[in-house]
Structure 1
Amino acid sequence: MDIGVLLPTGTAQWGPADDPRELVAFGRQAERAGFSSLFVNDSLISPRIEALTMLAALAPATETVTLGTAALMPFLRRPIQAAQSLASIDLLSGGRLSVAVGAGFPGRFGRPLYTLSEVPWERRFARLDETVALWRALWDGAASFHGEILRFTEVPPTIRPSRAGGPPIWLGGATPAALARTGRTYDGWLPYPPDPADYASGLRSVRKAAADAGRMAEDITPALFISVRIDDDIDSGRRAMDAYVQATYGMPLGELEKIQAVVTGSADQVLERLRRYAAAGVRRAVARLGALDLRSQRDQLERMTDLIPALLTPADRASASEDA
């Protein structure tokens, strides 16, 4: 398993004196520390730096890390303009972009966003899949697209990404339908199940759907989104994570742990939990750090850095030694 980090782009993760321009330096620090990727999330509900703007700022400021979304909500943007923005970021980063997408959820994190975007809630999954198909067609040079929902004729030439076919596109979600769609058409899977056993069973379903569609298991990156807080004092660590969850979701930690992957505790306890996910099949993890200001975020980043060598495979460790 390799480890990436979710940048704290939301104002709920900033202290009163924090400067959001520090986020670029935060990303560079993570890259130097050995994190494999920098991810950002996407929303109109809570105030945050817009996802693609943040990635565009990181593209020339970093060199090797993957830049990703966890997860981008395509319905918030015009589909052709989004294809242009994503291709531009892929070019500016030298082909380092990965795009995890989602359709939103019922309740305050879903339907209101569709209203604000003037997009119908109905058939949202079909709209998501067609948007991804449109992006891929445009990145391959298509001049028109005719789906059930999205139809465009005489599309002028758009900018092409760094890589043929464009950046890999992952799907977030773990419903049976999402697992089947991931296996059939997506390049990666980015869920957040609380139990590693559920991850393992979901991954089996993804791979079966892939095989049924004539695809290879290795065509799909098995990834994980997980919230992490490392503290020597376990009780104070849980209190800090609870404050983070309350500020982010407006719910107690105990409720979030029922629906999302969350791990708190000592470094050894966090490492053991991550190893359980690795045994379940995870090869890329995106860690959201549970801290409510940039200084505390950097402290958690340093604590996570110490875990990276223990999660690398022998081949990865050998490669890292050669690079050093």
Structure 2
Amino acid sequence: MAGLVRLQNEIERIKKEYFNRNRLAENNRQVENEAAIKIQSWFRGCQVRAYLSHLQRKATIIQKTWRGFKGRADFRQMAKAAYFIMKMNFYHKMSVRIQRRWRGYYVRKRIHNYYARKRYMEGLVRKNEQIRRDLDDYSEVQRREREKQALERIEREKNLQAQRLHFLLSTKQCPGIFNSPFRPGPDEMELRLRRTKPQPSTTSPRNRTSLLGNRSPLAHTSAGVPTALGAKPLPPIPSKKPQGPFREPAEVWAQRQRCLEPSLRVQTSITDLEQAREQLYSEMWRNRVVEARFQPFSKAHQNRKYEGLVHTSSSFQTVPYGSKHFREEHPENLQGKKGTICFSSS
């Protein structure tokens, strides 16, 4: 009973305490809610970032594995291609070497004549030396001719100068400028003036009167205008072509209706050069294609006739170049002998 009495006495205080606590809880509810939301967002962000980093690591591992596999496959393909190219280059090099050996042997055996070629080269050397000597002689003759012409030109110029300066010739009473008394002898020009004759004057009174005759120095034209001797009269003033409104209407209309006369540049297409170049390239490509297949080991090529060159016919060799083999066989010398072969070099 005592406890119930104490409880009844404390009921007002309990109500106030309950009311105060509910008010504080109501006041702190918004703050606690925002704090809880912030804690949850931070935790969920940590979870998502951890998951994304996990996915990034796994994707990196997958890409690394795939790229490694792809790179090794590409490297194997590149190595295979490089090995194939190296092998083909080696085969081509060996084939070229074999063809070179075979063609050299074939030419030396069937076509080329070493001694005939040697005789031809010796004759060519002699011919070249002879031509060089002839050219040297011809150049010497030309040089002498040029020198002779230069001396003759200088002599003509001196004679012409002497004719023009003939009035400076010395006389018995008055020595000329080229015959100074202070010199031991006359000058070269003085001697030349004595040998030459004076140049005839075209302006002397006698020549002038012979040219004029009985006429006066001034001649009159038909119009009465005096002109100098030997001068042609002026041509008459031509009638000017009417211009502008003074022209005939028919002439103006014909000029307006005249057809155009385009130049060659206008008539030519703008792509004419490119078309001509393409046509030329196509013809060159078509003409250089050889349809005949090369057969080096066929009998037709072995028994074909050798086509001589330009220098095969020469007067310095007794045997035409390429007419005999390098090692010619003479079966007529082997009569009565069996199992022996005789080679003779031509």
TM-score (norm 2): 0.12
Which structure has more RCO (C-alpha within 8 Å, separation ≥ 6)? 2
**Which structure has the highest helix share of the two?**
2
**Which structure has the highest strand share of the two?**
1
